[in-house]
Structure 1
Amino acid sequence: MTDTLLPQTDAAAAPDAATPSFLDRAGTRHPLPDAAAEAQVRADDRAHVFHSWSAQALIDPLPIASGEGATFRDYAGNAYLDFSSQLVNLNLGHQHPDLVAAIQQQAGRLATIQPSMANDVRGELARRIAEVAPGDLDRVFFTNGGADANEYAVRMARAVTGRRKVLSMYRSYHGGTATAISLTGDPRRWANEPSDGSVAHFMGPYAYRSSFHSESPAQEAERALAHLEQVIVLEGASTVAAIILETIVGTNGVLVPPPGYLEGVRALADKYGIVYIADEVMVGFGRVGEWFAVNHFGVTPDLITFAKGVNSGYVPLGGVVISQRIASHFDTVAFAGGLTYSGHPLACAPGVATFEVFERDGVLERVRDLGERVVGPRLREIAETHPSVGEVRGLGLFWAIELVRDPATREPLVPFNAGGADAAPMAAVAAACKQAGLWPFVHFNRMHVAPPLVISEADLVRGLDIIDEALKVADAYVVA
């Protein structure tokens, strides 16, 4: 494939690589660096913005001036390759002209309309989503983001089954609202308990750190499924409304399920009359080279939740794709839920544009090619040359580099949920990346590779080179 960037902004609006600049709110262009502008942004933020998941006095958010494609700049003029796609949502990159134009055009003709009325762009996006969803998932309930998508999927499952309990993995993140944070298995749940008491957690497959002492992917799938069935039985199968799992676990490790696992989950759900919810908030819409990651595994859930990549987060949007069986329950029974901004036209317009860009520019094929030909081989090469790399894994443009202090024992480079001084080794690796012009995605003892899907091959290779060099910092912590 060619090494050509997919369309970005026009020349008049794009930051000039030789003379970087930014547009202020009045549309006036200013050269970078701009210390005064940076100081004002920082002062307003520190005085008035309350940040998520943070101790407010211990953070210093970086003021950002501009972005284009796979790169963004701070007010000092420093450019960073965005290897995290912000929060793994910016699939079509910063300031994609088609998405920007779609929002502008929609604002000019109909900025908003309530969800109880029909709207052309809302209906078209729902149709397009249904056309690429597997099986008979052909109805879409729109939400404002991923957390409330998972909230509403659970609500649907409970209404249809008449049951209350939901099972989810320990290594998971499903959102920050009441039920979604209860579904979450990672430490972000702890401070928010108790919340929804009818959630139980189970161990999912993770071959590198197998909870089941497995010696092969097939054995890992078999034993993880046996464990899940035990949890279903011990929790009371007749009380379980749904099993929710990220098709590929995202923030908690880019854990690609072994062959047969998702098919086994589908079979267990059918056996016990349980609704299977696939959380595709992070991996949907091209991240692994498929519209939905379940398509890669040939599995059809009952509900799919989505957000992020559906419109690259340009305007908040999420939703639930619903099977005919679930949707038909509400043909004559009112669905007890709704949102003022469900299917907001300004959010749906860039969603439709996303489909057009994907189809025109062959984005899915491009992601598969780059993952198989560039990222996978290079990361495996990196793993061979750095003793701090325990394992690399992933699909498409979604990978994890798991770092260890001891390759023999697989002791993580930093402890689970490490903070402060305990997290210093990973902080040092991240700092080396930033110093070299790459903004990394770091979580616990892992670095994730998740750049915008429109990144050029040259920038992708350059980013992997930066990571390769930064891992020398991690190597210094490996036991002799």
Structure 2
Amino acid sequence: RAYTGKTKILARYRSYHGASYGALALTGDPRRTAWEPAVMPGVVHFLDPYRYRSVFHQNQPEVSETQFTREYLAHLEEIIQFENPNTIAAVMLETVTGTNGILIPPEGYLPGVRALCDKYGILLITDEVMSGFGRTGEWFAVNHWKVVPDIMTMAKGLTSGYAPLGAVAMKPEIAATFNERVFEGGLTYNGHPISLAAAIATIEVMREDHLVEKARETGKVMADMLAELVDRHPSVGEVRSLGLFGVIEIVKNRETREPMAPFGGSSPEMTAFRKYMLDQGVFLYTHWHTVLLIPPLIISPDQLAEGFAVLEKGLEITDQAVKN
């Protein structure tokens, strides 16, 4: 806002950007609503290109990826026009949506968003808090599509979780704004030396041990294992992954795609599945009807297989709830 002189920010509904005042406002999922109306004003949300549950293509399941991408970019452009591009400072999105379902952008989508931002003089901000630092088999997920954002946020993998640290990277011309204008923000532990040391050490180890490349290769193994679940478990509606960033959609009916738990809620089946996995010593992040697989970058194919063996048994619980 300081750089552009504009006020609005566009963000997606299926998103989570954090728990602070501004980040909650940008967040699209129900974690935001508990704090309304006490959130930052000026945020407008738009729809994600979520092919499995696309409201635009319920009667067109075989629509081509090119057309699918084109229609979601048209949706975003229409929102930009409705809101007046002269009032929009930035579009912010998770490069690969995290807790809301590992939504991998279709081919051409991110370059298309970049082009729309350039067309209308809007900044592109990418949230790489979950998808950055090797998670998707690239240092940053944007690298898969050769897109350069104007601003990028990062955390989590930045220190491998050993110490709390978040960072914001930006283009030099944006940073130069604050040579003349004081940024009135900050926290007590900004730039803490212990956290910075952890970040430096993490990056060094990732380079020396080739962990990004390892995640890319092991990710192919995980993708194959995920695909096999679809053949064996009727409650598995769809699987998606990029590198070591994967998800399973659990459904009651594959034809209708009815989720095993409602949006923003849970169900006895998902609760029982999660309890079983924990009892067997396997931690998976469950979110509503989805199961997220986000293993350490150092995991081996044998260790993946061990975890998937437990997962296969756990899915027998949700299989029992499938409606024929």
Flag whether TM exceeds 0.5 (same fold).
Answer: yes
Query: Is contact 1:207-1:217 (8 Å) kept?
Result: no
Partner SS for 1:299: coil
Please give the residue correspondences for 1:62-461 in structure 2 after superposition, counting only pairs within 5 Å: 158-194=1-37, 195-213=39-57, 215-372=63-220, 374-419=221-266, 423-461=267-305
**Alignment partners' CA distance in 2, 1:216 and 1:399:** 23
Quote the offset at 1:346 in angstroms.
0.2
User: What amino acid sits opposite 1:171 in the alignment?
Assistant: R
Quote the offset at 1:337 in angstroms.
2.7
**Alignment partners' CA distance in 2, 1:187 and 1:337:** 27
Query: Is contact 1:403-1:474 (8 Å) kept?
Result: yes
Query: Is contact 1:393-1:400 (8 Å) kept?
Result: yes
Query: Is contact 1:210-1:220 (8 Å) kept?
Result: no
The percentage of aligned residue pairs carrying the same residue is 50
**Alignment partners' CA distance in 1, 2:225 and 2:248:** 12
Partner SS for 2:99: coil
TM-superposition CA deviations, 1:381-403 (whole Å, max 9, x none): 11111111110001111100001
**Bigger RCO of structures 1 and 2 (CA < 8 A, at least 6 apart):** 1
- CA RMSD, Structure 1 to Structure 2 (Å): 1.1
**Alignment partners' CA distance in 2, 1:476 and 1:289:** 35
**Alignment partners' CA distance in 2, 1:437 and 1:327:** 46
Query: Is contact 2:218-2:300 (8 Å) kept?
Result: no
Query: Is contact 2:125-2:151 (8 Å) kept?
Result: yes
Partner SS for 1:474: helix
TM-superposition CA deviations, 1:74-110 (whole Å, max 9, x none): xxxxxxxxxxxxxxxxxxxxxxxxxxxxxxxxxxxxx
User: What amino acid sits opposite 2:19 in the alignment?
Assistant: G
**Alignment partners' CA distance in 1, 2:20 and 2:204:** 32
**Alignment partners' CA distance in 1, 2:55 and 2:172:** 36
Partner SS for 1:347: helix
**Alignment partners' CA distance in 2, 1:414 and 1:468:** 19
1:53 aligns with none
Unaligned runs of 5+ in 1: 1-157
Quote the offset at 1:332 in angstroms.
2.9
Matched, 1:471 2:284: no
Partner SS for 1:401: strand
Q: TM-score, normalised by structure 2?
A: 0.96
Query: Is contact 1:170-1:201 (8 Å) kept?
Result: yes
Q: TM-score, normalised by structure 1?
A: 0.65
Larger Rg: 1
Quote the offset at 1:465 in angstroms.
1.4
Partner SS for 2:132: coil
**Alignment partners' CA distance in 2, 1:332 and 1:450:** 42
Partner SS for 1:160: coil
Quote the offset at 1:428 in angstroms.
1.1
Partner SS for 1:330: helix
**Alignment partners' CA distance in 2, 1:262 and 1:336:** 31
Unaligned runs of 5+ in 2: none
User: What amino acid sits opposite 2:224 in the alignment?
Assistant: P
**Alignment partners' CA distance in 1, 2:47 and 2:254:** 24
